[in-house]
Structure 1
Amino acid sequence: MTTNKDCLIYMRTSSMTNSKGDSVKRQKSSIMKWVNDNGYNVKGEYWDIESGKMDTMERTEFMKMISDSERLGINVLVFSDQSRLSRDIIVQESTFRLLSSRGYSLISSENPNSFIEDTPTSNLIRQILGSFCEFDRSSTVNKLRVSRIRKRESNREKGIVTRNRTGKYEGRLRWIEIHPELESLILKLRKKGFSLRKISNLLKDEYGYKVSFVSVGNILKDIDWMKKEKRRMKRLETV
């Protein structure tokens, strides 16, 4: 049985990378604070991993929430802020008007009054708040981009570089970064004249490492390349 104090909550992240971070936790924490402070009961949680610019009516979880709300007779939908509904002002406003016309109450836990009134003033405030959310996101993305560039430059000076000799900051770790002991082991086997495929088989059968012969070749290239990089760094230190 549903009551007028029942609600459904909605969260959105733009990618799987964000989904593994604290974005969802922050959204849910904000939502649940509002829910508890106002005595509501959560009857369903919905989470989309979609771009904020995608039309809400094309999001799987959002549409499931609307379908469930009609089935359960719940018309209160709660999300953390306007950007979770949409980062596009037009999509945000059109979604608000469509759902409001169907009797839904949209609640932003961080700005509870932003979707309650439908007056010229509240419309302006709602759109400004949505713009600020988008500005904040863009600013954060830009700061992270600048931070990555600085980190790459710093790592380049320290000799922590990619095969293209650019500063390494992110991406998958190399085999010898995960298992440093492989360097001496593979070099020892290579000095015995074993082929890459033979080394791969020996690593698996005798040492328990599942390394393809292609990866063995890449590891040898990395070892040679890292030695050259260390020599280059030493030359720079003496200049």
Structure 2
Amino acid sequence: MTCAVAYFRTSSQTNVDGDSVPRQRAACAAHAARAGLSIRHEFTDAAVKGADRIDARTGFQAMLAWCAEHDCKTIIVENASRFARDLIVQETGFQMLTAAGYTLVAADDPDAFTASTPTQDLIRQVLGAVAQFEKANLVAKLKAARDRKSAQLGRRIEGPLKDAAQVAAARRLAPDRSLREVAEAMAEEGFRTTTGTILSAAHVSRLLKDTRLASCAAPA
């Protein structure tokens, strides 16, 4: 059976010990049985508002790390509002998961996240325009940074050198290690996040799957 995880969210501390999680669990289990899915793990964000960004939710991030570690790509929620009540948070979260290869399913309506309504279409168009602007802005900033560095060095530099080094290190350290162990080994070699913390298992997984830099070699 296809691997799946269940994600539960309660919006207030009052609901933590109430019937909210059992109700969500029953709905997710019922859908899994109908769809031929096997729920391997459950994750909960307690007292988290529906408008909170998913990347700021501890339980959700733990779920993504576990999924990356166990190659599990299906996430079941009771309904769309359990994932997020705010439509923009809901749509951006859905797009992020889809881009990462995940399937997000609402137990009460499996098509909830892909349905086309005037409001959802408008949000998708706005988000698409914002994403295009941010990408163009980032490209311009990176080019300006490369131009400055090239002028300082007296030669032209191009390409994501830091990313290439990370990919090479991840591939070199991956054999016989879990994603978490690879992250720890990379940290010992100086590969960390911009804030100095150890890379997440999900980040290591993306490095190992990066096809754009497939030809990069490990540093000597």
> TM-score, normalising length from structure 2?
0.52
- Return structure 1 stretches of 4+ with deviation > 4 angstroms: 125-128
Structure 1 unaligned runs (5+)? Answer: 129-239
Residue in structure 2 matched with residue 72 of structure 1 by the alignment: 70
Contact 1:8–1:77 at 8 Å: present in 2 too? yes
Query: Which of 32, 37, 43 is residue 34 of structure 2 equivalent to?
Result: 37
Aligned length: 120
Letter in 2 for 1:100: T
In 2, the alpha carbon distance for the partners of 1:64 and 1:97 equals 19
**Cα displacement string for residues 110-151 of structure 1 (whole angstroms, at most 9, x for unaligned residues):** 011123x4xxxx2328949xxxxxxxxxxxxxxxxxxxxxxx
In 2, the alpha carbon distance for the partners of 1:67 and 1:57 equals 12
- Identity in percent: 31
In 2, the alpha carbon distance for the partners of 1:30 and 1:125 equals 28
- Following superposition, the deviation at residue 81 of structure 1 comes to 0.6
Residue in structure 1 matched with residue 111 of structure 2 by the alignment: 113
**Cα displacement string for residues 164-206 of structure 1 (whole angstroms, at most 9, x for unaligned residues):** xxxxxxxxxxxxxxxxxxxxxxxxxxxxxxxxxxxxxxxxxxx
Report which structure shows greater RCO (CA 8 Å, sep ≥6): 2
Letter in 2 for 1:88: D
Residue in structure 2 matched with residue 6 of structure 1 by the alignment: 3
- What is the CA RMSD across the aligned residues, in angstroms? 1.8
Where in structure 2 are the equivalents of 1:28-177 lying within 5 Å?
A: 28-49=25-46, 50-115=48-113, 117=114, 122-124=115-117, 127=120
Structure 2 unaligned runs (5+)? Answer: 122-220
- Following superposition, the deviation at residue 20 of structure 1 comes to 1.6
Q: Secondary structure, in 3 states, of the residue corresponding to 2:116?
A: helix
Give the helix-richer structure, 1 or 2. 1
Q: Secondary structure, in 3 states, of the residue corresponding to 1:123?
A: coil
- Following superposition, the deviation at residue 92 of structure 1 comes to 0.3
- Following superposition, the deviation at residue 39 of structure 1 comes to 1.7
- Following superposition, the deviation at residue 52 of structure 1 comes to 1.1
**Cα displacement string for residues 78-136 of structure 1 (whole angstroms, at most 9, x for unaligned residues):** 00011111111100000001111111100000011123x4xxxx2328949xxxxxxxx
Q: Secondary structure, in 3 states, of the residue corresponding to 1:30?
A: helix
Residue in structure 2 matched with residue 162 of structure 1 by the alignment: none
